[in-house]
Structure 1
């Protein structure tokens, strides 16, 4: 029982930290980069909204309530990353992440739903013929959340180093990191099977 629990949690962690599927990491980078350690409550809420979104998608997919076009979802995921990165570039240094918290939470939840649909096919394979779909889902979601905490901590830590040791202004840090993410996402969009 405990062995299955750890397998499912580790599967969730590995799914997020998979070097070949870095879209989840890019989204979390964009979500986190405008903040610093003292904003931890807001970050926890945002990341939890994202987790809630893709957990709801996985529940809907696991019980065959939703069956999305995989190519469309794989196209929409980089779009969500691009939207957040561009938003960061245009609002860097303006405090917009603190003012529009309702919109940020709603958008993050919605984008989580889209990212969750990207997990759906792989999650169905993990489920197999299991009768404990909900338990498996919660264990998998816990693994995803743990991986997200690792990524968020790394982004905040690198931001701290960049802004204190290397003296980047917060605005420049957000703009540079977001621009790098945009540069990584555009090829993902152009190579999408949905556009072919």
Structure 2
């Protein structure tokens, strides 16, 4: 049980670590268009992302798939940039009917996007987990614990973002569109910086 808690904490710390803020940026971009009242939709969205990264995290940790680490480190900020740019096309509904219709139409696409991009992020998580496991004989429990820790960290990040959104939209009376564009613009700028400064991209362009 003690080992389980250790790996759970490591998973939580890994995704919430400011030094590895690329995963944090993705979660922020993912839920930037939602409000606190839409927490159920966000929970489903984060679950889709979790399913995606759980699959590749398990496969890569068990060494059932191989990939170039440098390429994944480039693809992760690209997924962040794409998600942030997709948010720019968000338009604040003028009525509840439009809200329901647009939310339904948009949901399927965003869930699919979260699932696919989760597959890429899972390979990024596995690099860290493999370094922790070393020659551990049984990696199933550590893998499960680490994954749960990641999920708890994601929920914390989402909670903070949605709470800030509530304050901005309901207390400061800002528009939902403005909030979405500002948050997504900041995330897009940071993601673009990560892409430009990526060593693998520099090698490709040389």
Task: Give the Cα separation in 1 of the matches to 2:15 and 2:141.
Answer: 19
1:147 matched residue in structure 2: 153
Task: Give the Cα separation in 2 of the matches to 1:129 and 1:195.
Answer: 32
Report the alpha carbon displacement of residue 100 of structure 1 after superposing the two structures with TM: 2.5
Aligned positions of 1:9-158 closer than 5 A: 9-93=8-92, 96-158=102-164
Report the alpha carbon displacement of residue 162 of structure 1 after superposing the two structures with TM: 0.6
| Unpaired segments ≥5 residues, structure 2 | 94-98
Report the alpha carbon displacement of residue 191 of structure 1 after superposing the two structures with TM: 0.5
Task: Give the Cα separation in 1 of the matches to 2:103 and 2:120.
Answer: 21
Indicate the structure (1 or 2) with the bigger Cα radius of gyration. 2
| Unpaired segments ≥5 residues, structure 1 | none
- Higher mean Cα deviation, 21-30 or 96-105? 96-105
Number of aligned residue pairs? 195
1:180 matched residue in structure 2: 186
2:165 corresponds, among 145, 159, 162, to: 159
Local SS of the residue matching 2:19: coil
Runs of 4+ in 1 over 4 A off after TM superposition: 94-97
RMSD: 1.3
Local SS of the residue matching 1:34: coil
Check conservation: 2:168, 2:174, Cα contact below 8 A.
yes
Check conservation: 1:34, 1:92, Cα contact below 8 A.
no
- Higher mean Cα deviation, 119-128 or 156-165? 119-128
Check conservation: 1:55, 1:137, Cα contact below 8 A.
no
Report the alpha carbon displacement of residue 97 of structure 1 after superposing the two structures with TM: 4.8
Task: Give the Cα separation in 2 of the matches to 1:159 and 1:102.
Answer: 23
Task: Give the Cα separation in 1 of the matches to 2:71 and 2:92.
Answer: 34
Local SS of the residue matching 2:137: coil
Task: Give the Cα separation in 2 of the matches to 1:92 and 1:53.
Answer: 28
Task: Give the Cα separation in 2 of the matches to 1:136 and 1:105.
Answer: 27
Check conservation: 1:92, 1:175, Cα contact below 8 A.
no
Report the alpha carbon displacement of residue 26 of structure 1 after superposing the two structures with TM: 0.5
Task: Give the Cα separation in 1 of the matches to 2:133 and 2:6.
Answer: 12
Check conservation: 2:12, 2:153, Cα contact below 8 A.
yes
Q: Deviations over 1:96-123 (max 9, x none)?
A: 5542222211111110000111112111
TM-score by length of 2: 0.90
